[in-house]
């Protein structure tokens, strides 16, 4: 049987093939495609029982219906997030769906800190200057983090890893989550209402999933509460931040730095080469004009350790499908139709 994977990156493919070959040893073939799965490309999945999707694929009701009609029975999402999949529609048409519920939290936590340190110490501006042999320090002054306050929004596995690093810097720790993490409490974290966290933190880092209740969690009201010299980092999901409100805040000269590895309208932009095209997303283009804003293209998870773990878990999900099993990664079980 041939299994098809969409949105496969060049650095990801060897790790995916290694996991695939180890598990299936020639029993199944893997076809890796760089294109994303959407209404225009869904005919390429015709006849494939198992489809491996990426977070930037568009798996709405129409695409899912077309997949089911073409013979697909299982979607294996190669990520933790699944907000791009209409799970109700998948259940309606009898598609099973699984995700990768866990991979190295250190990859994202360490990258969130990379963004925080880069904007705090003006690393990108400094690097551009020195490449032009301009070695002045004007405009490059940062701040010590020791003794300042880190606000961690979401203290699951990734948030806890971020908290441990903050503790190592000697920062005061504030947290917000529905459930308090004992590991974070042991490090001295104080759980506080969201409004107090935004008001008191010198650094706010987002580590919650994108759900209806967390959409635009960082809105105009939250940004107004933040200190004028605070740093905001989002390495979770773009929809957590109201981009229009953030642009207004930046235009007002507020916030020392913003590090964004995700963007709410990133689909169709991130992971693609747009360097020879006109950037039609005016909000993204405007974000890029601020010297205190650093945008990266959803790469926080992108380490050999994390991607290898994602590949192995995805293969395990496929094995569960063939065996008729469900598990902790199952979002929609096999054969469940309304």
Catalytic residue positions, numbered: 237, 266
Q: What is the DSSP string of 235-262?
A: -S-GGGB-HHHHHHHHHTT--SEEEES-
Question: How far is residue 8's CA from residue 111's CA, in Å, rounded to a whole number?
Answer: 21
Q: What is the CA radius of gyration of the chain?
A: 21
Strand residues in the chain grouped as ranges (E): 2-5, 29-32, 50-53, 74-77, 96-98, 149-153, 172-176, 190-191, 203-206, 231-234, 257-260, 293-295, 330-332
Which position has the token pair 């806890």?
160
Contact predicate 290/246, CB 8 Å: no
Question: How far is residue 170's CA from residue 175's CA, in Å, rounded to a whole number?
Answer: 15
Question: How far is residue 89's CA from residue 86's CA, in Å, rounded to a whole number?
Answer: 5
Stated as kind and residue range, the H or E segment containing 166 is: helix 157-168
Instruction: Give the C-alpha distances (Å, rounded to integers) separating 314 from 42, 52, 126, 157, 333.
Output: 20, 8, 40, 20, 15
Query: CA-based diameter of the chain, in Å?
Result: 66
Stated as kind and residue range, the H or E segment containing 63 is: helix 61-69
Which among 13, 59, 61 has a CA at the least distance from the CA of 37? 59
Residues in the chain: 338
Q: Quick count: other Cβ atoms within 10 Å of Cβ 245?
A: 17
Q: What is the DSSP string of 188-212?
A: T-EE--HHHHHHH-SEEEE-----T
């Amino acid at each position: 049987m041939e299994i098809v994977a969409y949105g496969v990156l060049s650095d990801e493919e060897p790790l995916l093939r290694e996991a695939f070959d180890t598990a299936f040893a020639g029993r199944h073939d893997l076809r890796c495609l760089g294109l994303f799965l959407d209404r225009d490309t869904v005919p390429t999945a015709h006849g494939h029982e198992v489809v491996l999707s990426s977070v930037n694929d568009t798996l709405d009701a129409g695409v899912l219906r077309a997949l089911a009609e073409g013979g697909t029975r299982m979607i294996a999402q190669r990520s933790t997030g699944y907000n791009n999949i209409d799970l109700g529609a998948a259940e309606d048409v009898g598609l099973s769906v699984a995700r990768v519920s866990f991979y190295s939290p250190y990859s994202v936590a360490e990258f969130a800190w990379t963004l925080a340190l880069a904007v705090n110490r003006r690393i990108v501006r400094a690097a551009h200057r020195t490449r032009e042999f301009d070695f002045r320090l004007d405009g490059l002054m940062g701040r010590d983090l020791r003794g300042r306050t880190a606000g961690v929004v979401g203290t699951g596995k990734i948030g806890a890893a971020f908290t441990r690093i903050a503790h190592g810097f000697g920062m005061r720790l504030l947290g917000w989550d529905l459930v308090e993490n004992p590991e974070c409490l042991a490090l001295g974290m104080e759980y506080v209402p969201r409004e107090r966290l935004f008001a008191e933190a010198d650094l706010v880092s987002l580590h919650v999933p994108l759900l209806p209740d967390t959409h635009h969690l960082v809105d105009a009201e939250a940004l107004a509460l933040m200190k004028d010299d605070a740093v905001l980092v989002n390495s979770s999901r773009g929809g957590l931040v109201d981009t229009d409100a953030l642009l207004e805040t930046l235009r007002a000269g507020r916030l020392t730095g913003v590090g964004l590895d995700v963007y709410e309208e990133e689909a169709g932009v991130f992971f693609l080469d747009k360097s020879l095209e006109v950037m039609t997303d005016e909000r993204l283009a405007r974000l890029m004009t601020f010297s205190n804003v650093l945008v990266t293209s959803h790469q926080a998870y992108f380490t050999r350790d994390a991607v290898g773990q994602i590949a192995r878990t995805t293969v395990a999900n496929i094995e569960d499908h063939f065996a008729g099993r469900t598990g902790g990664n199952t979002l929609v079980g096999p054969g469940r139709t309304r």
